[in-house]
Amino acid sequence: AKEEGSESGPMLRFVNAVAADIAKQYPQMMIHTLAYTYTEAAPKYVQPATNVLVQLCSMGCYFDVPLDHPANARFRDNLLQWSKVTKNLFVWDYVANFSDSVVPYPNLQVLGANVRLFAENNVIGLFAQGDTFSMCGDMVRLRTWVLSHLVWNPSRDQQKLTDEFLRGYYGAAAPSIA
C-alpha cells in the first residue's frame, strides 16, 4: 500500500492474480472489483488486467453539487486517475437518501452534469443506486426517468427531459409541479 500510494494497490494485485487464474478457463469473463472507501484512490503502478472491471463509488460526496465541483475534489480526482489506468471503469453513484428515504435528496438538478462527467472520463457503465420502489420520497419516478434518458444519451437537455416527464406523468397539472 505504501509503495502504491493507496490500499487499492495490494487489492488490485490480488484481483489481477485471481483474474489471470480465471482467464485460463474463462477468457471471456470480467472480474469485478470496487474502488470504495479505503480503495477509492487509484494505485501508482499496478494497472487492472484487461479482464478486470473497476467500479468507483461516489461514497461521501456532496450530492447537491455536481461531482466535478471543488467540494467533491476527492471523487473527481479519483475518477480522473482511474480513467487513465483502465478502459473498464464503472461508477456506483448514489441517487437516493438511504438514511431517511422520505427526506428530499438534493441531486435532481445535477444528474445531467454527473452523467456527462462520467461519459467524458470513459466510464463505460453506471449503477445509479436509487429507491425506485419507494412510495414516498422526492420525485423518485422523475429522477429515475430523467437519469435513464441521460444514460442513454448524456448530451440530452436535463430541463427538457424534466418538462417532458412532468407533462406526460401529471398532464394538465404539470405546470403546478414544476
Q: Which three cell numbers stand for residue 100?
A: 431517511
- pLDDT band at 132; cut points 50, 70, 90: low
Q: What is the mean pLDDT of residues 128-144?
A: 80
Say whether pLDDT at 8 is over 80. Answer: yes
| pLDDT for the residue 131 | 76
What is the C-alpha to C-alpha distance for residues 56 and 90, in angstroms, rounded to an integer?
6
- Can you tell me whether residue 83 is helix, strand or coil? helix
What are the angstrom distances between the C-alpha of 3 and each of 37, 39, 47, 75, 122? 19, 14, 14, 22, 27
Amino acid sitting at position 28: Q
CB 162 within 8 A of CB 142: yes
DSSP assignment letter at 43 = P
- Give the lowest-confidence range in 127-131, 135-139, 149-153: 135-139
How far is it, in rounded angstroms, from Cα 167 to Cα 36? 39
CA pair distance 162, 145, nearest whole angstrom: 9
pLDDT > 70 in the chain, percent: 96
Element (H, E) at 96: none
pLDDT digits 0-9 by tens, 28-46 = 999 999 999 999 999 999 9
Q: Please determine, for residue 168, whether its predicted confidence score (pLDDT) is greater than 70.
A: yes
Lowest pLDDT segment from 5-9, 68-72, 101-105, 126-130: 101-105
What's the pLDDT tens digit per position in 42-73? Answer: 999 999 999 999 999 999 999 999 999 999 99
Q: How many residues appear in the chain?
A: 178
pLDDT of 139: 86
pTM over 0.85: yes
Mean pLDDT of 83-96: 95
In whole angstroms, give the CA distance from residue 52 to residue 33: 7
Query: What pLDDT score was predicted for residue 19?
Result: 98
